Amino acid sequence: HRLNLSQEENNRQDKIAYSAKEPSELGIGSESHVRRMIKAGKIPVVKLGNREPIPANWVEENFQKPAAE
């Protein structure tokens, strides 16, 4: 079952954090590039045990797709 665009947008709005893989799927760069940026301190993360999710608000503020005109 595929989600339509509006459902995908709603899911993104409900997200509180992204894995390193998810921003790469949004076109920010490869997963390894995202991980290098995290390690260099250019992308903030929240330490949760062994996981380091990227706050969704940071992803949305820095890599939000332009609105359709």
Question: Which residues are within 8 A (CB) of 20 and not within 5 positions of it... i.e. 6 or more apart?
Answer: 31, 34, 35, 38, 52, 54
What confidence score (pLDDT) does residue 3 get?
45
Q: Residue-wise pLDDT tens for the chain (69 aa)?
A: 444 444 455 555 578 999 988 887 877 788 899 999 999 999 999 998 999 999 999 988 887 655 555
pLDDT of 42 reads: 93
pLDDT of residue 20: 87
